[in-house]
Amino acid sequence: MSTIATQDMIALIGAGPSGLAGARALQKAGVPFQGFEAWNDVGGLWNIENPRSTVYESAHLISSKTTTEFTEFPMPAGTSDYPGHAELLQYFRAYAAHFGLTKHFRFGTRVLQVEPVSDTPDTLWRVTVQSAGGTPETAEYKGVVIANGTLAEPNMPTFEGHFDGELLHTSAYKSPRQFTGKRVLIVGAGNSGCDIAVDAVHYAKSIDMSVRRGYYFVPKYVFGIPADTVGGKLRLPPWLKQKIDSTILKWFTGDPVRFGFPQPAYKMYESHPVVNSLILYHLGHGDARIRADIARIDGHTVHFKDGTQGEYDMVLAATGYQLHYPFIADQLLNWQGMAPQLYLNIFAPRFSRLAVLGMVEASGLGWQGRYEQAELVARYFKALQDGTAAAQALTQAKAGPPPDLSGSYHYLKLARMAYYVNKDVYRDAVRKAAQALA
């Protein structure tokens, strides 16, 4: 059996949904690769045993199965509309087994460092990895595909004063039993904050949520079917979509202001919507209460900016995550401001074979959207290998001005929105680029 030299292979980092998509697409394109996964199994954050996982016992999909699954590998018949993390882990294990992807990964092996051998676009890449208990090993690869996830590194706020109770980030939240008998303040009402508040009402002594801004709440079901499967094919201009969808929301979830939330100072889809109507249900039952932004903390007393205060045993920061690529220098990924500036959120502009998968936020992109990224990368690498004109065209496009992927929505200037795109515009652009390489 002949072995392929690492210099002819792509190093692929991570075996979560994006890394598996990367493996499948490289395999299909016939591009040799070596995968590395720090944990001992596939599934990424959907594997609750993975120390980098940020799911909790009650975590389920917030996008429905049909808009989320890989097109060439539908979830088994009988899967619920919004499966939980354990069912999803089975799905990723089955995906990896079905396509024979597992053998391409070294599990329990963390990538420590990635650096170019030279400054030329076509450079080889020096990759240093470490297996549990082993000494670091370095080898040169033809290229690198990074799929290490975007929702693992906590974005922890700092508060004025000192809290004498328990201060946690959602990344450390696993079970509602952590709340038993406690007066809990959840900071932030995004998807995780609301999910966790709904968990907490059955265990905590009291639940308050401190918010800075208003939100749009989308129910999981409208007319008895998953909300993200309604009207999906219809392409409308932003102003019309915002008008129609916010009217539909008013019918189904009502006005969040009635439940204590501030009025959003932005239009629908200018920030990630919260897919949760149970939080409004619990607020309506007095199980939870909305508070203002935090001014300062003094012992167990939290002072809010509206002049009110409350006593708490636990403060849980549901304040999201930061992009985190600790193994590669920022300038190689073209970091500017709050995120790397990558062509189509994928390609580092300076290099031929440095790509990131999964560094994209959009409402309803699903794993198929991530697979399409992987397909583009794999086809590009293959086309580079074959020296085609289409490869040259993409290389030129990569060096030029970035396309507008916003779909004319004015996204909020938040860290998480720094790599936010409009799903339809984005998928069209990625598919078109991939088709040009087919």
In the complex with ligand FAD, the residue whose CB is nearer, 40 or 331, is: 40
- CA nearest 41: which of 128, 84, 101, 98? 101
Q: Is 111 in the site for ligand FAD (CB under 6 A)?
A: yes
Which stretch, 34-42, 237-245, 290-298, 411-419, contacts ligand FAD (CB under 6 A)?
34-42
Q: Is 187 in the site for ligand FAD (CB under 6 A)?
A: no
Q: Is 197 in the site for ligand FAD (CB under 6 A)?
A: no
Is the distance from CB of 158 to CB of 169 less than 8 angstroms?
no
Q: Is 123 in the site for ligand FAD (CB under 6 A)?
A: no
- Closest approach of Cβ 84 to ligand FAD, in Å? 10
Q: Is 18 in the site for ligand FAD (CB under 6 A)?
A: yes
- Write the single-letter amino acid at 55: V
- Closest approach of Cβ 382 to ligand FAD, in Å? 22
Determine the Cα–Cα distance for residues 29 and 350; give it in Å rounded to an integer. 23
**Which of 83, 143, 149, 407 forms a contact with ligand FAD (CB under 6 A)?**
149
In the complex with ligand FAD, the residue whose CB is nearer, 112 or 295, is: 112
- Closest approach of Cβ 46 to ligand FAD, in Å? 6
Place of tokens 């009110």: 308
| Binding-residue total with ligand FAD (CB under 6 A) | 34
User: Around 251, how many Cα atoms within 13 Å sit in the side-chain half-sphere?
Assistant: 8
- Closest approach of Cβ 208 to ligand FAD, in Å? 21
Q: Is 63 in the site for ligand FAD (CB under 6 A)?
A: yes
Which stretch, 24-32, 43-51, 293-301, 311-319, contacts ligand FAD (CB under 6 A)?
43-51
**Which of 9, 12, 24, 37 forms a contact with ligand FAD (CB under 6 A)?**
37
Region 366-385 residues binding ligand FAD, contact defined as CB under 6 A: 366
- CA nearest 129: which of 13, 45, 16? 13
Q: Is 54 in the site for ligand FAD (CB under 6 A)?
A: yes
Which stretch, 130-138, 143-151, 296-304, 392-400, contacts ligand FAD (CB under 6 A)?
143-151
**Which of 12, 25, 45, 145 forms a contact with ligand FAD (CB under 6 A)?**
45
The pairs formed by 349-352 with CB atoms below 8 angstroms and a separation of 24 or more are 349/398, 349/399, 350/121, 351/116, 351/121, 351/123, 352/121, 352/122, 352/143, 352/384, 352/395
- CA nearest 283: which of 311, 256, 245, 250? 256
Q: Is 68 in the site for ligand FAD (CB under 6 A)?
A: yes
In the complex with ligand FAD, the residue whose CB is nearer, 186 or 384, is: 186
- Closest approach of Cβ 277 to ligand FAD, in Å? 15
Region 328-367 residues binding ligand FAD, contact defined as CB under 6 A: 358, 366
- Closest approach of Cβ 225 to ligand FAD, in Å? 16
Q: Is 62 in the site for ligand FAD (CB under 6 A)?
A: yes
Q: Is 16 in the site for ligand FAD (CB under 6 A)?
A: yes
In the complex with ligand FAD, the residue whose CB is nearer, 39 or 419, is: 39
- Closest approach of Cβ 230 to ligand FAD, in Å? 16
Q: Give the interface with ligand FAD as residue ranges (CB under 6 A).
A: 13-19, 36-39, 44-46, 50, 52, 54-55, 59, 61-63, 68, 110-111, 147-149, 151-152, 192, 327, 358, 366
